[in-house]
Amino acid sequence: MSEEEMKSNSPLEGPEAGLHTNPTEEVKEEISEAAEPLKQELKAEAATPEKPFITPEEEKPKKPGIFTRLHRWWFNKDSKFGRFNQKALRVLTAIAVLFAIGFAVCYFVLYRPATQDLQAMVDKYVAQETQYTQSLKDVTAQAEEIVVLSAEVIQLNDQLEKEKAHMDILRLETDLMEAKYYIADDSFSSARTSLESAKTRLEGLEKMISAADAELYKSLMGRLTQAISDLSIKSANTATDITMIVNQLREFETKSFGSEE
């Protein structure tokens, strides 16, 4: 193709056509700077060794772990040992399930009700023990009260016995004064009856009078016996003996029971 044809086929004419056919140095530098990163990238790719392409058929399978291999060997269906282990595993699983069911039944049917009954018994025992402790305290308080009341009863009994003895002495004095009155009235049979009654009362007071003064009781009993004997002969000493006995009794009464105001 001639130069004229090239010019006729060029789409640019005039100054613009000349600019593209003869670029300046400035345009060249811009083009060089823009192409520099591409050159460096191409150099880096050229320096990096290419990885060989491996097809999926050429990839080696991963080696299974020890537990996987052990499981395959232990439960291998193609060996008698593996089949036996599978049957044994099924049997052991069934036994474990039955054991769990039995344990659950024993727990909910036997153990739990027994535990609840035992807890109820413990609560009942604690309540009874508390009640027993309270009852024991009440009984102890009542026993102490009974002891106090018993002491008061004993004291009252002693006081009653003392008052009874005092009344017996007063009756004894009354019998003696009646006998003295009957002697003065010459009613010796009535006087004897009063003296015999006085003697009986004096014998009943022996323990009390002897505890206080044994000689006094002997003296009183001797004088009273002598007065009864003298009464049979109507002796004048009978009234004198009676007076002495009454005086002795009143002295004893004052010492034992105090004087009555």
The pLDDT of residue 58 is above 60: no
Q: Which of 84, 249, 103, 112 is nearest to 177 (CA)?
A: 249
Domains of the chain in sequence order: 156-257 (1.20.120.660)
Regarding predicted confidence, which is higher, 214 or 22? 214
CA dihedral in degrees (48, 50, 56, 62; nearest 10)? -40
**Per-residue pLDDT reduced to its tens digit, 216-249:** 888 888 888 888 888 777 766 788 888 888 898 8
**What average pLDDT does this structure show over 202-206?**
87
Considering the chain, what percentage of its residues have pLDDT values greater than 70? 76
Looking at residue 9, its pLDDT comes to 47
* Token pair 């086929």: residue: 9
User: Locate tokens 């008061």: which residue?
Assistant: 152
d(CA 189, CA 61) in angstroms, rounded, equals 154
pLDDT score, position 95: 93
Cite the DSSP H helix spans in 48-110: 66-74, 80-105
CA–CA distance, 215 with 121 (Å, rounded to integer):
74
Q: 């008052």: which residue's tokens? A: 163
Whether the Cβ atoms of residue 146 and residue 152 lie closer than 8 Å to each other: no
Percentage of the residues of the chain whose pLDDT score is greater than 90: 16
Q: Model confidence at 50, in pLDDT bands (50, 70, 90)?
A: low
- pLDDT at residue 43 tops 70: no
Crossing angle for the helix pair 188-204 and 112-184, to the nearest 10 degrees? 150
Does residue 55 have a pLDDT over 80? no
Q: What is the pLDDT of residues 160-192, one digit of tens each?
A: 888 888 888 888 889 888 888 888 888 888 888
User: Please, is 53 exposed, middle or buried when counting C-beta atoms within 10 Å of its C-beta (0-12, 13-18, 19+)?
Assistant: exposed
How much is the pLDDT for 72?
72
The pLDDT assigned to 232 comes to: 76
Q: What is the mean pLDDT of the chain?
A: 79
Q: Which pLDDT belongs to residue 16?
A: 44
Residue 84 in this model has a pLDDT that exceeds 70: yes
> How far is residue 176's CA from residue 141's CA, in Å, rounded to a whole number?
52
Single-letter amino acid, residue 252: F
pLDDT tier at 153 (50, 70, 90 boundaries)? very high
Output the pTM of the full model. Answer: 0.45
Rounded distance between C-alpha atoms, residue 104 and residue 98, angstroms: 10
Q: What pLDDT is stored for residue 83 in this prediction?
A: 81
Q: How far is CA 144 from CA 131, 135, 147, 149, in A?
A: 20, 14, 5, 9
Q: Token pair of 72, please?
A: 């395959």
